Amino acid sequence: MTCIAVNLAIQMVMTASLYQKKTWYSQLKEQLAVLTLVKPALDALRVAHADRKKTTRHQKNEFVEARFERSATIIIEMITESIPSTIIQLLAFVNSETFNFASILAVISSISTAAFIPAVIM
């Protein structure tokens, strides 16, 4: 739970700094996207639309490009959620007294997911 709270706090600070020149309504929408955990999906949608329209940040009057914002969101999630949860799983596996094949699969799955998914999405 702490990892998610830290992730949300960092993403809210990032969103506030990126959208500080926008209207209060735009800022509120972005903060609600962070709080409702739909920010990654919203960023992916923006990247897809930007690729389809071939727009740049200057044409859309944005502070940063959608790809940069998407990458920053993924990096924040990796640092605050994926890596700590993998470390916790590894510690639980190392400190357990019994050998459990399911535990090994869970750790391998966690590590491969944490590495593979962001690489594919970016």
Per-residue pLDDT tens for 5-51? 888 898 889 888 888 888 889 889 989 998 998 888 888 888 777 76
pTM of the model: 0.64
Quick one: which of 86, 73, 80 has its CA closest to 4? 80
Rounded CA separation 60/48 (Å): 14
Q: Which residues contact 74 (CB under 8 A, 6 or more apart)?
A: 40, 118, 121, 122
Domain ranges within the chain, ordered by starting residue: 2-121
pLDDT tens-place string over residues 65-97: 777 888 888 888 878 877 787 788 888 888 888
